[in-house]
Structure 1
Amino acid sequence: MTTFYGSLQHNYEPKREDNDICTVPFLEATKDSIIGLLDVIGPTAFAIVKSDVSGNIQKLYLKYESDKERFITLGAMLDEEKEANKSWAKNSATDALLWLNRGLGFICSFIRNVLDTTSADKILESCMTRAYESSLKEFHGWMAQKLTSLTFKALPYREGFISSLSNGAPEEQFLDELRAYHQLLELHVQTIDKLFIDRDLDLKHC
């Protein structure tokens, strides 16, 4: 049986020697795995989150399309906008990447919580809540926090989550593939954070 993660057309690539990230493979992997995951666990409940992620992916695609040779990596986009003093301009690639990576960090933390969940804690709401509180919550206003909290209540139990993504494959096979995916996702989140830090770009910018 092929699981959700085993059937991905695009997945995150191993770390590059120059500690940068190739633009198109990254965006394709994010679109396939993150948008696909949100569709499975709650297409209606997570419609706003999906729209936000999709919008930031589109902004980065548009930046890439404006000069494919120059913007072959995410670092090149950040460099160009910093040099032009446009890092935080409206609809900038820098801002889009920052918010996209915050979303990826949120999903990354959620997956880690699922993998660490004990048999006594099978409610995904708690996994998602802990992930949210350690990542996105500080950047959201009171109303957004309340709406997000309500969204989490629509999540299935851990058993249903695994069943919907494993596609009939043994649970251990699915969890092994989830762990492998998580390692690559976490690596990309950390690498993007470092791209910002190395360029003195504020990770706390709102």
Structure 2
Amino acid sequence: MEGTVFTPSLEGIKHVKTPEGEMLTKPFLEVCKNILPVIEKFGAAMTLVKSDIGGNITRLESKYASNPTQFNFLYNMVKTEVETKTAKASSSCTNGLLWLTRAMDFLVELFRNLLEHKDWTMSQACSDSYSKTLKKWHGWLASSSFTL
């Protein structure tokens, strides 16, 4: 995959975990940010996805920047919010991380569909990916908005 739009993410993913398996905040967010230009190439149809991912990255980056030593590991952000009983808030980093990883699951499934089903339209690939990843987490309103 040398020289593709995925190269920065594939290289970056090698540096996301410590040898002990702990997720490092900054490298993880860098990998996530590297996927934004790829999403942008899909045009207006993916604007909402790109915006949602970008917003969650920004939320996590702000928390990290507030204390890079304390929040060097993603787990520490979640742990701090659990201890302060703010993890379940819609604006929490825990919630942002949850939706960021769900969005990444959607994108992985979308890229898989596009690779394996070359005869599918973008709409078919997105709908299938959505139903396999995000639909179970969305209410009927969000699900119907996605379809539109």
Task: Place the TM-score, normalised by the shorter chain, in its bin.
Answer: 0.7 to 0.9
Deviations 1:34-66 (A, max 9, x none): x11210012x22222211111111110111111
- Counterpart in 1 of 2:61? 61
Question: What residue in structure 2 maps to residue 145 of structure 1?
Answer: 143
Structure 2: tracts of 5 or more residues without a match:
none
Q: Kindly tell me: are residues 136 and 8 of structure 1, through their superposed partners in 2, closer, same or farther at Cα, counting changes over 3 Å? A: closer
Partner SS, residue 19 of structure 2:
coil
Say what the alpha-carbon RMSD is for the aligned residues. 2.3
How many residues end up aligned between the 2 structures? 146
* Maintained 8 Å contact 1:10/1:32: no
Q: State the TM-score, normalizing by the size of structure 1.
A: 0.63
Query: Any residues of structure 2 matched to 1:45-84 within 5 Å, and which?
Result: 45-84=45-84
**Residue pair 2:8, 2:34 contacting (<8 A) in 1 also:** no
% identical equivalent positions: 32
Q: TM-score, normalised by structure 2?
A: 0.85
Structure 1 residues 60 and 145: alpha-carbon distance in aligned structure 2, compared to 1, 3 A threshold: same
Change (3 A) 1:7 1:86: closer
Alignment partner, residue 108 of structure 1 = 108
Moved over 3 A (4+): 6-10, 14-17
Greater RCO (Cα-Cα under 8 Å, separation 6 or more): 1
Counterpart-to-counterpart distance in 2, 1:101 and 1:12: 14
| Structure 1 residue 6: Cα displacement | 3.2
Q: What's the CA shift string for 1:129-178, capped at 9, x where partnerless?
A: 1110011112223232223123xxxxxxxxxxxxxxxxxxxxxxxxxxxx
Cα drift, residue 10 of structure 1: 6.6
Q: Which structure's residues are more often helix, by fraction?
A: 2
5 Å-filtered alignment, 1:13-52, equals 13=14, 15-33=17-35, 35-42=36-43, 44-52=44-52
> 5+ unaligned residues in a row in structure 1: which ranges?
151-206
Shift of the alpha carbon at 1:90?
A: 4.2
- Contact 1:13–1:25 at 8 Å: present in 2 too? no
From 106, 121, 124, the equivalent of 2:122 is 124
